[in-house]
Chain A
């Protein structure tokens, strides 16, 4: 079945630095990828929709200059958290769209900003 590989699984960074999270679709072409953020014991919040070859669409309230999304190829989408601060610490998950057939999620990235 469709697999989305997400890296890194965990990252700790200093406040003010930037962190890049990668999601790769391994056996399908993901023209669309979704990026979510999940706070402890809460549901997933959609941050943005990433479309191959075009600008990402951000949800209301999500800072596009802080969360940079690049979808340069059909198999790779990246999320860069720029100038990270402790409040950006969270669990970030990507998913590749397979429409009504169900979405495949990456294994998630636990970001801790110290």
Chain B
């Protein structure tokens, strides 16, 4: 069965410092993985996606993630945090190619301090 685990419920960084949001997945076959960002009372915006192409995926707003099959990880990083990056981040895996259902991680709240 497919699942996704976000290891940190909260991450706090100072503006200008690197961001690391961790995600591990479990899948019986090659998964499709996504990172979404949600600002308060807003819908979700796609940051980036991995669909069995390049393992290092670049997304919007300077974010990137690396798919590591040996570690079953898909961690999200950004070299330098900005105040506007403060939001909730979700790691997501597609549950099945037949149904296209998504499984969401529990989310990581990123705080950015000036």
A-side residues, CB < 8 A to B, are: 4, 6, 32, 34, 41-44, 46, 49, 91, 93, 95, 97, 99-108, 110
- Verify A93–B106 contact, CB threshold 8 A: no
Measured in the bound complex, the distance between the Cα atoms of B42 and A103 in whole Å is 15
Q: Is B20 an interface residue (CB 8 A)?
A: no
Chain B residues 77-114 with CB under 8 Å of chain A are: 90, 94, 97, 99-102, 104-107, 109
Pair count A-B, CB < 8 A: 53
- Verify A101–B44 contact, CB threshold 8 A: no
Residues of A within 8 A of B100 (CB): 32, 97, 99
Measured in the bound complex, the distance between the Cα atoms of B42 and A66 in whole Å is 24
Additional A-B contacts beyond A42-B106, A105-B44 (15; CB < 8 A): A6-B43, A43-B90, A44-B104, A91-B41, A93-B44, A99-B94, A99-B100, A100-B97, A101-B51, A102-B46, A102-B49, A105-B43, A106-B43, A107-B42, A108-B42
Instruction: For residue B68, give the distance in angstroms from its CB to the closest CB of chain A.
Output: 19
Closest to A2 in B: B46
Instruction: For residue B29, give the distance in angstroms from its CB to the closest CB of chain A.
Output: 13
Measured in the bound complex, the distance between the Cα atoms of B101 and A95 in whole Å is 11
Measured in the bound complex, the distance between the Cα atoms of B36 and A95 in whole Å is 13
Q: How many B residues touch A, CB cutoff 8 Å?
A: 23
Q: Which 6 A-B pairs have the closest CB atoms?
A: A105-B44, A107-B43, A105-B43, A100-B51, A43-B104, A102-B46
Residues of B within 8 A of A95 (CB): 44, 102
Residues of B within 8 A of A99 (CB): 94, 100
- Verify B36–A105 contact, CB threshold 8 A: yes
Measured in the bound complex, the distance between the Cα atoms of B105 and A43 in whole Å is 7
Residues of A within 8 A of B105 (CB): 43
Q: Is B74 an interface residue (CB 8 A)?
A: no
Measured in the bound complex, the distance between the Cα atoms of B51 and A97 in whole Å is 15
Instruction: For residue A48, give the distance in angstroms from its CB to the closest CB of chain B.
Output: 11
Q: Is B32 an interface residue (CB 8 A)?
A: yes
- Verify A110–B41 contact, CB threshold 8 A: yes
